[in-house]
Structure 1
């Protein structure tokens, strides 16, 4: 139990440090609308992967990275599908349809992508 608490705390610390670093990098970029992309997901994922590799091992890190790859592909498809649906169906139905597309795409990507 204590090991899990330490792992979660280290992941939070590493993710926070990477968020800070990527936020500083994003502040130097233009256009500013890309700042959130660089300061959120990639930095937390990188911190989590580093802590997982250090505490648990590379095999678990690779499994986590495979899941992140599938999720990223699914998120890309979500971003392609939802904007046109927003105009036609409204926020709630478009978001629900996008979530369904995300789940199906993530599952298919996880099954079809080569596992490390």
Structure 2
């Protein structure tokens, strides 16, 4: 238990620091948050999956993370496009577009996994 927490802390902290440095290089500075949070969590999770369950299990998790990221990209692109083009309420657009996210995620899951 403690080894898992220590591993997550060390790997997460190291990766967050590296990606925060990378985020400082790019403009706008809002990329710093994206570069620092998600990759560190993903790498820590994959590291623990390899240690506890082996590489086959971690490979499935990695594919699932890629599918989720692609679905999120499509969702964000759609929401951004709608919000820039129309004057609809953001809550309506964001919650309605979740159907698209789910469709892309489950569609890619059926194709890839």
State whether residues 15 and 48 of structure 1, in contact with CA within 8 Å, keep that contact through their aligned partners in structure 2. no
Question: What root-mean-square deviation, in Å, do the aligned CA atoms of Structure 1 and Structure 2 show?
Answer: 2.0
Aligned match for 2:56, one of 59, 72, 77: 59
RCO comparison, higher one (Cα < 8 Å, 6+): 1
Runs of 5+ unmatched residues, structure 1: none
The correspondence for 1:74, drawn from 65, 71, 83, is 71
Structure 2: which 5+ runs fail to align? none
Q: What's the CA shift string for 1:28-71, capped at 9, x where partnerless?
A: x0312321221111221122112211222101101111110110
Question: Deviation of residue 6 (structure 1)?
Answer: 4.9
Answer with 67-76 or 82-91: which moved more. 82-91
Partner SS, residue 26 of structure 2: coil
Residues matched between the structures, number = 109
Please give the alpha-carbon distance, in whole angstroms, between the structure 2 residues aligned to 1:82 and 1:11: 36
TM-score between the two structures when normalised by the length of structure 1: 0.79
- Identify if the C-alpha distance between structure 1 residues 62 and 90 changes in structure 2 by more than 3 Å, giving closer, same or farther: same
Aligned residue among 26, 30, 51 for 2:26 = 30
SS in 2 for 1:89: coil
